Structure 1
Amino acid sequence: MVMTAQKDSRRAARRRLVQAVILASGWMLAVPAMAQSAGTQNWPSRPVRVVVPYPPGGVSDAVTRLVMQKLAERIGQPVVVENRPGANGMIGSDNVAKSAPDGYSLLVVVAAHAINPSLYQKMSYDPIRDLTGVSEIGRIPLLMVSSAQLPPKSVKELVSWGKAHPNQMTFASSGSGSGAHLAGELFSQGTGMTMTHVPYKGISPALPDLISGQVAVIFDSVQTMIPLAKAGKVRALAITNPRRWPAAPDVPTMAEAGYPNIMPSSWIGVLAPAKTPTAIVDRLSAELDAVVHAPDVQAKLIDYGIDPVGGKADQFQTFIKEEAERWASVVQKAGIKLD
């Protein structure tokens, strides 16, 4: 009887020990989750850093500062813009991709973010896996213009003329792999027309040759091209936007011109490191959407040549993936390689 009682006592002690270990383990697992939840609820409790992976003074930089000033007012914390240019945006993007996913490091990118994986074989981060979309600021349509020295006065006329004069069908760009280059390749592939790419070191050096008729076509921003078209130096054929542009209401959209599936355009938006808490991403997305849809911000974005979009985080992430796939196909067919 005594031995049985002792065994029962030892069993009871073991049960209590096991229960204590289980409780302690549960508490240890709960502490990080509780801390993360508290951090999410308290966000933002300090300034937020936003990296622009392009030089200061450009449109991307100006738009970022416009939007982030308004965001700071809404979240009650300073938003500090930091320029980290280089390697087609990859230096600054790598910095944010490797930052803590806590909502205090953000990134502003343009379409090159989704195109880079197709152009560069060696990247130190994965644009899709290591970063996640927060909110799209807007689309940046391109104006398709031709030299006023050439006969075609519409996109369809240009395609017909180009097929009849393949040796004269050239398009300029600001360099291999640039947005203007890929837009021209997409147009060539979409129309079945052979076009010869003529790269320049920037858009400015290309303009005299476009105006004189040395090159036939270029795709570039509405900011640059609308003044030239209004002056009669180039001919605006179409805009790569779902709707006509306020500053050029007589220029048809690419869909109106007969090519609804050829819509090369850039975009600008905000990303965060992957694994940033969903609650923080959703809060940021909602705040940025409100900023982008403010009338004064919309007016300034349009002045910059940007069609305001906004929207939710998951929508933007899906769009980025689709863009990466679309441009990968264009790059592969064109045989473009930059490294």
Structure 2
Amino acid sequence: MKTTKTNRARGRWAGACLLAAALACGMAGAARADAAYPGKPLRVVVPYTPGGVSDAVTRLVMQKLAERIGQPVVVENRPGANGMIGSDNVAKSAPDGYSLLVVVAAHAINPSLYPRMAYDPVKDLTGVSQIGRIPLLLVSSAQLPPSSVKELVSWGKAHPDKMTYASSGNGSGAHLAGELFSQAVGMKMTHVPYKGVSPALPDLFSGQVAMIFDSVQTMMPQVKAGKLKALAITSPARWPAAPDVPTMAEAGYPGVTASSWIGLIAPAKTPKDVLARLSADMDAVLHQPDVKARLIEYGIDPVGGTPDQFQSFIKDEAARWGAVVKKGGITVE
């Protein structure tokens, strides 16, 4: 009897040891898996055509990220449908940290403009790192009298038929910024969409269109050439490339903050430790002096931050612009 009990005790002890060993091996395996990420090249989709600012910024940052993580980062352009074709591709990719997506403000705006999307930008994708924010410059034609935001508002209310604003197309950031401004100042304005910013410039120069919100990088050369007037910038502080231009708050309209942005996201359900690793590496890259300098040249204020911070920002942006779209009755065909 004593021998039987002893054998049973030894059996239980041996089983416990085996279980402990198995758990230890499993934990070690998990640690090795975490440490091994990334173990192969990353794919980063840009849902826009090559050659644009978002594409150039992505290639700059991803080259630096590749150097940091010791793996190639392949940038793949999948343009179409205001960014939705490339975004849908990544939303349906494996949530393993090897398929990522670069998005701009349209990512948060699209749900309010396109009610029947093939994916949910908030539920099917999640934030990794906010690369940067892009303040918008409010400029008016040099052919028109206003030289400040308040003068523009007074002039527009006195000449409602001439109060027009250009944009790069229906539903674009410039369109929504103009609608936000219209709602903030309580003035009806006529939206004039173009197929890009360049086709709008001649009409802005001549005064046929009164104003536009667009990037500092695009508009400041025209301001310096005397063709446009810089009235205000939508960032919280003045921009280094336009130090004499007041913020919208300084101009008397603190509610008009309409910066665009660019960031890196991943499929939902990507492991949190993978997101944290990517975010930390991106943060380090964005704080490299040469990267910061190049981004500022592009008119981008580097941000970084955690995945949760960026995801929360995206949700806030979706709600905010959704309200502007609804109030303005904005639709796209």
Say yes or no: TM over 0.5: yes
Report the equivalent of 2:219. Answer: 225
Query: How many aligned residue pairs are there?
Result: 316
Aligned counterparts of 1:90 and 1:168: Cα–Cα separation in 2: 35
Q: d(CA) in 2 for partners of 1:33 and 1:122?
A: 43
**Aligned equivalent of 1:311:** 305
2:265 corresponds in structure 1 to: 271
How far apart, CA to CA, are the structure 1 residues paired with 2:29 and 2:331? 46
| Structure 2 equivalent of residue 249 of structure 1 | 243
- CA distance in 2 between counterparts of 1:190 and 1:116 reads 22
Counterparts of 1:123-272 in structure 2, within 5 Å, are 123-272=117-266
Q: Distance in 2 between matches of 1:107 and 1:305?
A: 21
Separation in 1, partners of 2:73, 2:295: 19
Q: Which residue of 2 aligns with 1:12?
A: none
Deviation of 1:36 after TM superposition, in Å, equals: 6.1
Output the amino acid matched with 1:269. G
> RMSD between aligned alpha carbons?
2.0
Q: 1:98 to 1:37 in 2, by over 3 A?
A: farther
Which of residues 62, 72, 86 is equivalent to 1:92?
Answer: 86
Change (3 A) 1:32 1:101: farther
Identical pairs, percent: 76
Q: Is the 8 A contact 1:40 1:277 kept in 2?
A: no
Equivalent position of 2:58 in the other structure? 64
Question: Shift of the alpha carbon at 1:38?
Answer: 4.7
Cα distance, 1:187–1:32 mapped onto 2, change above 3 Å:
farther
Q: Distance in 2 between matches of 1:131 and 1:35?
A: 28
Extract unaligned runs of 5+ from structure 1. 1-15
Displacement of 1:240 after TM fit? Answer: 1.1
Greater Cα radius of gyration, structure 1 or 2: 1
Q: Deviations over 1:279-338 (max 9, x none)?
A: 110111111011111110010001111111111111111000000001101111111122
Aligned counterparts of 2:278 and 2:110: Cα–Cα separation in 1 = 26
Residue type of the partner of 2:163?
A: M
Give the CA deviation at 1:41: 3.2
- After superposition, the C-alpha distances for 1:64-123 in whole angstroms (9 at most, x for unaligned) are 111111111111111111111111111111111111111111110000000000111111
Please give the secondary structure, in 2, of the residue aligned with 1:69.
Answer: helix
Distance of 2:28 and 2:327 partners within structure 1: 51
2:5 corresponds in structure 1 to none
Instruction: Measure, in 1, the Cα distance between the counterparts of 2:222 and 2:129.
Output: 33
CA distance in 2, matches of 1:151, 1:97: 49
Match of 2:7 in 1: none
Q: 1:58 deviation in Å?
A: 0.7
Deviation for aligned residue 1:241: 1.0
Which of 325, 330, 333 is the aligned partner of 2:327?
A: 333
Match of 1:5 in 2: none
The amino acid across from 1:212 in the alignment is S
Q: In the alignment, which residue of structure 2 is the partner of 1:282?
A: 276
Question: Which residue is 1:109 aligned to?
Answer: 103
Distance 1:63 1:36 in 2: 34
State the alpha-carbon separation in 2 of the partners of residues 231 and 337 from structure 1.
Answer: 35
Question: For the residues of structure 1 that align with 2:43 and 2:198, how far apart are their CA atoms?
Answer: 33
Letter in 2 for 1:123: M
